[in-house]
Amino acid sequence: KNQVEQSPQSLIILEGKNCTLQCNYTVSPFSNLRWYKQDTGRGPVSLTIMTFSENTKSNGRYTATLDADTKQSSLHITASQLSDSASYICVVSALSSASKIIFGSGTRLSIRP
């Protein structure tokens, strides 16, 4: 069964600290992995997308890594800011099929001043 599991479910850190969010998946055949940020009351916004051949991609203070062998990804946030408070969703896509775009349930990140 195609699944995407994220950990932790929620996380609280102090402003300025770094954090790492985890994503494990069993989606096959793998096409790409995306990280989205979802602010409260808004739709998800794409942060990064990685294909099989990419093992790291950055977007400002966000760095995503991918290990296709172990089927794991992480999202590292550096020097967190209050605006980073949001849910972060890992999404894994199988080859060319909308019905095989699998969303994780997200990690709820809260940044405290």
Partner 1 sequence: NAGVTQTPKFQVLKTGQSMTLQCAQDMNHNSMYWYRQDPGMGLRLIYYSASEGTTDKGEVPNGYNVSRLNKREFSLRLESAAPSQTSVYFCASSGLINQPQHFGDGTRLSIL
Which chain residues interact with partner 1 by CB under 8 A?
4, 31-32, 34, 41-46, 49, 89, 93, 95-99, 101-106
Among the listed residues 24, 30, 20, the one whose alpha carbon sits nearest the alpha carbon of residue 75: 20
Closest approach, Cβ 99 to partner 1, in A, equals 6
**Residue placing its CB nearer to partner 1 in the complex, 30 or 78:** 30
The residues near 98 (Cβ < 8 Å, ≥ 6 apart) are: none
Name the DSSP class of 61: T
**Residue placing its CB nearer to partner 1 in the complex, 80 or 93:** 93
Closest approach, Cβ 9 to partner 1, in A, equals 8
Q: How far apart are CA 32 and CA 57, in angstroms?
A: 13
